[in-house]
């Protein structure tokens, strides 16, 4: 099942990457190369998972073993994955409005709290703030990459 989901998501992501706008300066298709590569890789890996499962199932059938029904249970890992997906969507929605620094602090802080627990709240907050500020300074000041400004803070 995960192979099919990965394959479908890879196809959708690849198709969406080709719908990105062309660059106005330089090579026209440059902004599409990396996302398209990721989408193609995701599609190929999903297809490999499907083929691997089909081969495994045929082998079990040939040996006369009974194929067990797959049960989908919502355990701790599934909850963490669902929270991370939700957190990513919130990050994407906040990114342009709240700016890079604030939205990244919220995203990284939430993820660190999810995986480290609330016992390490201070450490999670320090890491989230310092990482966000370091990356902002590195990209905006050193590399000259424009990132969305945080309103009222101007960083």
Q: Do 77 and 121 have their domain in common?
A: yes
Pick from 37, 53, 70: which residue ends a domain? 70
Q: What is the separation of C-alpha 11 from the centre of its chain, rounded to a whole number of angstroms?
A: 16
What per-residue confidence (pLDDT) applies to 78?
Answer: 83
Q: What global pTM score does this model have?
A: 0.63
Domain count, the chain: 2
Domain shared by 78 and 26, yes or no = no
Same domain, yes or no: 47 and 81:
no
* Residue 95 near residue 132, CB atoms below 8 Å: no
5 and 62, same domain (yes or no): yes
Q: What is the pLDDT of residue 153?
A: 67
Domain termination site, one of 53, 70, 87: 70
Q: Are residues 91 and 152 in the same domain?
A: yes
Query: 83 and 59, same structural domain?
Result: no
Where among 46, 70, 94 does a domain terminate? 70
Question: In the numeric block, which tokens belong to residue 151?
Answer: 């309103």
Range of the domain at 7: 1-70
pLDDT by position in tens, the chain (length 155): 788 989 999 999 999 998 888 877 777 777 888 999 999 999 999 999 999 989 988 888 888 777 777 676 778 888 998 999 999 999 999 988 898 999 999 999 999 999 999 999 999 999 999 999 999 999 988 998 888 877 776 66
Q: What is the pLDDT of residue 155?
A: 60
Tell me how far CA of residue 2 lies from CA of 5, 51, 76, 101, in angstroms. Answer: 5, 12, 17, 34
Cα dihedral sign, 19-15-12-36: negative
Same domain, 127 and 111: yes
Based on the fold, state whether residues 5 and 28 are members of the same structural domain: yes
- Please tell me whether residues 92 and 144 are part of one structural domain: yes
Do 107 and 150 belong to one domain? Answer: yes
pLDDT at residue number 55: 92
Same domain, 23 and 48: yes
Same domain, 48 and 112: no
Long-range contacts: 25-32, Cβ < 8 Å, 24+? none
Phi, psi angle pair for 29, to nearest 5°? -95, 10
Distance CA 101, CA 138 (A): 12
């Amino acid at each position: 099942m995960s192979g099919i989901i990965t394959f479908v998501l890879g196809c959708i992501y690849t198709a969406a990457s080709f719908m990105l706008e062309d660059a106005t300066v330089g090579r026209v298709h440059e902004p599409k190369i990396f996302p398209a590569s990721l989408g193609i890789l995701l599609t190929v890996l999903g297809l490999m998972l499907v083929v691997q499962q089909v081969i495994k199932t045929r082998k079990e059938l040939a040996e006369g073993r009974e194929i067990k029904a797959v049960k989908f249970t919502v355990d701790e890992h599934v909850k963490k994955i669902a929270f991370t997906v939700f957190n990513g969507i919130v990050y994407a929605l906040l990114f342009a409005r709240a700016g890079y620094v604030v939205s990244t602090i919220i995203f990284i802080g939430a993820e660190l709290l999810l995986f480290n627990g609330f016992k390490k709240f201070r450490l999670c907050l320090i890491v989230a703030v310092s990482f966000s500020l370091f990356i902002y300074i590195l990209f905006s000041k050193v590399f000259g990459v424009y990132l969305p400004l945080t309103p009222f803070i101007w960083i």
